[in-house]
Structure 1
């Protein structure tokens, strides 16, 4: 097993069966973030950090749209079963120690988004010989770039003065989300033949 996608096809493209499963996972994760952002952002913004959630909504939607179009899809009989587990993991998890329910939901969304953007590095899977003109290759690089930008968004939200009194509860939720996302990502990679060091899957 290798730590990269492949073996590459003769033209340097990522094999369609690997594209399919990686893209499906990313669409599931970023689609969940887009849906939850749409439900969390209020009709009228009242705090500065809420503008960051509004920005996240459209960036997550762009990632999903890009993957749908850039992926060379292939039949994958096992995908449905795996997708059920992924979707269950993204289910909204408000930070229950926060008494303000809308704020608890926003904090829960921010912890999930932070985990997704920090733990998942799709461009790191690309071998150096990958065809730079492959739409899927370009999509993974774009997603990783955008994830770096959106990670800053989550930091702004999580460190906002509104959430400062709930720091311990948020840190606990953040650690749990990181463990969950990292394990799911590693399990998916192993399923397409990519070697992953999972020694810290259970660690924050």
Structure 2
């Protein structure tokens, strides 16, 4: 097993089965964020962080659209049950110490988005000889770039004044989300022959 995509074909393209499995995982994760942003946003924006949510909604939708078009899809019989387990993992979980349901929902969404954007680095899996102008390669690099930008929005909210009294609860929820996302991402990669040489995330 290797810590990178491959073996690449003669033109430097990522194998289609690896593209399919990784793209399906990323679409599930970013699609879940897009749906949850859409349901969380009120009809009228009242706060600065809600404005940021609106922007993030469209970024997540763009990521999903890009992956759907840039991936060389092949049949994958295992995706049925894998997607079901991924979709379950993105659902909101109770946050200890947060009674306000609206605020708890916002914290859940911010911690999930933070874990996905910070913990999943698909472009780091590309070997140096990957074909630079291949659509899938370009898509992964674009997603990683956008994730870095989107991450700033989650950080601003999670460290904002509204959550200062709930710092311990927020930190615990964030830690749990990161652990869960890392586990799912690692399992998805290992299922197509990609593994990490240590516990550092790609």
Q: Which TM bucket (shorter chain)?
A: over 0.9
Q: CA deviation at 1:45?
A: 1.4
Structure 2 unaligned runs (5+)? none
Q: Which residue of 2 is the match for residue 88 of structure 1? A: 88
The Cα offsets for residues 92-141 of structure 1, whole Å up to 9 and x where unpaired, read as 22534222211110111000000000100000000011011110000000
Per the normalisation by structure 1, the TM-score is 0.95
Report the Cα distance in structure 1 between the residues aligned to 2:13 and 2:172, rounded to whole angstroms: 41
The residue number in structure 1 matching 2:109 is 109
Q: Distance in 1 between matches of 2:172 and 2:9?
A: 43
- Cα pair 1:36 1:92 within 8 Å, conserved: no
- Is 1:53 aligned to residue 19 of structure 2? no
SS of corresponding position for 1:196: coil
Structure 1, residues 164-203: CA drift from partner, whole Å, max 9, x if none?
21111000000000000000000111011012246479xx
Q: Is the 8 A contact 1:66 1:139 kept in 2?
A: yes
Q: Which residue of 2 aligns with 1:26?
A: 26
Contact residue 92 and residue 105 of structure 1 kept, 8 A: yes
- Equivalent pair of 1:94/1:106 in contact (CA under 8 Å): no
Structure 1 counterpart of 2:74: 74
Residue 152 of structure 1 corresponds to which residue in structure 2?
152
Residue segments in structure 1 that go unaligned for 5+ positions in a row: none
Match of 2:136 in 1: 136
Structure 2 length-normalised TM: 0.96
Greater RCO, 1 or 2 (C-alpha within 8 Å, sep 6+): 2
Q: Number of matched residues?
A: 201
